[in-house]
Structure 1
Amino acid sequence: MFEKQQDAMAYVRKFGCPDMFITVTTNPNWKEITDHLLEGQHPHDRPDLLVRVFRLKLKQTMHALKNGCQGSVDAWLYNIEFQKRGLPHAHILLWMSRESKIHPCMIDAAVSAEIPDKNQDPESKRPMHERW
C-alpha cells in the first residue's frame, strides 16, 4: 500500500490531481459466479471463484478505460482491496488528456438520477434486493 501511495504522489507531481476516481466492486450475484456454484453453495463459499471473476471484469474495465471509453487517458493507477465481508474491490485513478477533461458545465449531461416510471420500466417493480 505504501508503494502504491508513493506511486500516486509521483503521478500527482507529474500530471496534477486525478480527473476521475472510479470504484469497481464485486457483486456476489454476478451470473458468472452463480452459474458455477454447486447445489447448496453460496458465493462466500467460493472465494477463489469470486476473485477470478472480479479480476477478469477488472481487466475488461481497465482495457476499456485505457482504450478511450471515457476519453483519452494520460495516466492511470489502481489498487485492489478486500472489504470486511471478503469481496474484492478496486479504486481506480485516471488522469485524462487535456481534450478529454470533464468541465463543470458537462456534468448535468453525463449524470442523471431519477425515480423510474413503473410502466416504462417493469424491472423497477421488483424489490431492489431481487434485481441484484
Structure 2
Amino acid sequence: MSYVCKYGRRDLSISFTCNTKWYAIAKEHMPGQSADDRVDLIARVCYLKLGKLMDLISKSQVFGAVCCHMNTIEWQKRGQRHAHIIIWLCDKIGGTEIDHLISAEIPYPSADSELYETLTTNMIHGPCGSHCNYTSCPISDGKCTRQYPRDFVSETITGSDGYPLYRRRSSAEGGFTAVVKGHQVDNRWVAPYSPLQTKAFNAHINVEY
C-alpha cells in the first residue's frame, strides 16, 4: 500500500511458474528419478531463474524504466513453485502500446518456430470445461471459472475493470490455431504473455496490464 500511495496503481502483474523440464533440472536427475524427487533442485533453479527475470525487467528495462517492483514466491501442492511479481513503471503504458508488450495470440510457426513451440507448451490454458476432460482449474456448471475460452477480439480494448480485452483474432481474421493435448485450440485459450520473456525462459510467464 505504501508503493501504491507513492507511485499509484501497478502497471504490470506477472506470474512466473517453474518449468521442471528445464535442462538445468533435468540433467541432474539420477536414473529413475523425476522432478518430484528433487524439490531441492527445483527450488534452487527457480530462485536463480527468477533473479534473471527480475534483472531482465529492472536492469534491461524490457518494459521501460522501473520505478519499483516486488515479488513473492509460492509453492502449491497442486502445482510447481511460482512467483507473483508487481511492476511500477516510470512511464505509464498507454492503451495503444499494449500490443507491443503483451500478446494473447498464437504466433505463426513459420515466423518463429521456437516461440510457437514454447507458447503451445506453456501458455495455453487447458483446454478445460465441457471442451475436454482436462480439469486442472476450477470448473463450475461445466464452465471454467477463469473465463476460458475468452471471446474473440479484433483489437485490444481497455476494460472498465482495469484489465484490457487483449486482441484475440479468429481464424477468419488471420488468427492461428494449434493442437494441444489432442485438441484444436485457437487464440481464445492463450494466457496473455510477453513474447520476449516466454521465449527467453521457456516457462509459463503470464503478463497482465
With the shorter chain as reference, the TM-score category is: 0.7 to 0.9
Given candidates 21, 25, 47, the residue that maps to 1:29 is: 21
Matches of 1:119 and 1:80, distance apart in 2: 34
Q: 82-91 or 112-121: which moved more?
A: 112-121
Shift of residue 128 of structure 1? 4.7
Q: Identify the structure with the greater helix proportion.
A: 1
Shift of residue 44 of structure 1? 0.6
Question: Partner letter of residue 18 of structure 1?
Answer: R
Q: Secondary structure at the match of 2:33?
A: coil
Question: Partner letter of residue 96 of structure 2?
Answer: C
More RCO (CA 8 Å, sep 6+): 1
User: 1:59-107: CA deviations, max 9, x gaps?
Assistant: 1111121111221000101011112235211000010002xx2111112
Residue in structure 2 matched with residue 4 of structure 1 by the alignment = none
Distance 1:11 1:119, change over 3 A: closer
Shift of residue 37 of structure 1? 0.4
Residue in structure 1 matched with residue 69 of structure 2 by the alignment = 76
Q: How many residue pairs align between the two structures?
A: 120
Shift of residue 115 of structure 1? 5.8
Q: Secondary structure at the match of 1:54?
A: helix
TM-score by length of 2: 0.51
2:34 is the counterpart of 1:42: yes
Matches of 1:64 and 1:117, distance apart in 2: 25
Structure 1: segments with no counterpart, 5+ residues: 1-8
Question: Partner letter of residue 108 of structure 1?
Answer: D
Q: Secondary structure at the match of 2:42?
A: helix
Given candidates 54, 78, 85, the residue that maps to 1:85 is: 78
2:62 is the counterpart of 1:66: no
Structure 2: segments with no counterpart, 5+ residues: 122-178, 182-201, 204-209
Given candidates 90, 99, 112, the residue that maps to 1:97 is: 90
Given candidates 98, 101, 111, the residue that maps to 1:107 is: 98
User: 1:34-57: CA deviations, max 9, x gaps?
Assistant: 010011000010000000000000
Distance 1:97 1:82, change over 3 A: same
2:43 is the counterpart of 1:51: yes
Verify the 8 A CA contact 2:16 2:82 in the aligned structure 1: yes
TM-score by length of 1: 0.77
